Amino acid sequence: MDLNEFLNITIFGIAIKQPLIFLVKALVIYAITQTIVSVIKFMFRRSMKRKGLLFLDHTNMGFIQRIVVYAVYLIGGTAFLSLIPGLEKISNSILAGAGIMAMAVGFASQEALANIVGGMFIVFSKPFRIGDVIKVDEVVNGTVAEITLRHTIIRSLDNRMIIIPNSKINSCTIINSTIGEQDTCSFIEIGVSYEADLDKTMNVMREVIIKHPLLIDRRTPEEKAAGNAQVIIRITNLGDSAITVKAWAWAANSGNAFVMKCDLLKSIKERFDKENIEIPYPYSNVIVKK
């Protein structure tokens, strides 16, 4: 028995060569699809390592890569389905119900499409990028780790991954600490008693703050020439039991500002104790009638 005779053998009315041809074509489509996807990923990885590529950065490249890869898989899947016999025969039935199917798919994919469109707005309008430190609605605070077609992933300060749909994050108020100047002002507010010497209190606070290594000087040359203080301190409130003294201390970024504020609160408290400057706290007098 030669090869032609073997291929012409029929089983249940189907010649052996038909499933073999289908299998070969399916494997070829799969191999071509995977090869194209691998080449695309390689080219995008190589491009990300280069600098000065027009307007594209890491955020744009990663987002566009996903769109291209999904498009290649879609084309490969369509080519595979075209190999299945009988699809041509049922095409009329599919077209007849296209209106109903389109309506159902539209309702089902409304949120998914909104997230994809939201992701495009984020990538091209750039309210934030991968690596930016952002705060979302004063609730979520962290670093942007990834922007996908459907959601944005933020790494929180305690190293947790927070996943927010793109359509939702587009409607949120976002504070981006990375865009523009990163210098951050840390507000040091401390309440002192009404008996405290305010001039002495402000001088002590200024001395402690100026010694901190993370403090930066934001004064212009004109302000330095005029003798303006590096650290501004003001009385901001006369409370029920304390006078609020507020200092403006600048750091190079938000992370340094947070660390500096924590250190200064401790250092100022210890210095106030040495200088006998009272930080009042609420207390109650209990009167017992006999």
Give the per-residue pLDDT at 55: 45
H-helix or E-strand containing 48?
helix 17-48
Q: Give residue 95's pLDDT.
A: 43
**What is the reported pLDDT for 274?**
93
Residues ≥6 apart with Cβ < 8 Å to 126: 59
Statement: 184-274 belongs to CATH 3.30.70.100: yes
Domain 120-176's class? Answer: mainly beta
Could you tell me which of 128, 134, 144, 142 has the C-alpha nearest to residue 175?
A: 134
Burial of 26 (0-12, 13-18, 19+ CB in 10 A): middle
Residue 54 is predicted with a pLDDT of 45
Q: Where are the alpha helices (DSSP H) in the chain?
A: 3-7, 17-48, 58-81, 87-96, 98-108, 110-125, 166-169, 198-210, 221-225, 254-274
Q: What is the dihedral of CA 238, 196, 204, 184, to 10 degrees?
A: -10
Q: How big is the CA angle at 181 (ends 179 and 185), to the nearest 5 degrees?
A: 115
pLDDT in tens, 62-81: 777 777 888 888 787 777 76
Which residue in this structure is represented by tokens 């100022």? 268
For the chain, the structural domain boundaries read 3-85, 120-176, 184-274
Provide the token pair at 99: 């209106």
In the numeric block, which tokens belong to residue 170? 């587009």
**What's the mean per-residue pLDDT of the chain?**
79
What pLDDT sits at residue 242? 92
Provide the residue-wise pLDDT of the chain in tens; the chain has 290 residues.
555 655 556 655 555 666 677 778 788 888 888 888 888 887 777 766 665 444 455 666 777 777 788 888 878 777 776 766 655 444 444 444 545 555 555 555 566 677 777 777 887 778 888 888 888 887 888 889 888 878 889 998 888 999 998 888 888 888 887 777 788 889 999 999 999 999 999 999 999 999 999 999 988 889 888 888 889 999 999 988 899 999 999 998 888 999 999 999 999 999 999 999 999 887 777 788 87
Alpha-carbon radius of gyration of the chain: 33
For residue 151, what pLDDT is reported? 86
Please give the model's pTM, rounded to 2 decimal places.
Answer: 0.56
Residues 201 and 194 sit within 8 Å (Cβ to Cβ): no
pLDDT digits (tens, 9 = 90+) for 159-192: 899 999 888 888 888 888 777 778 888 999 999 9
| Angle (nearest 5°) at CA 238 between 232 and 240 | 145
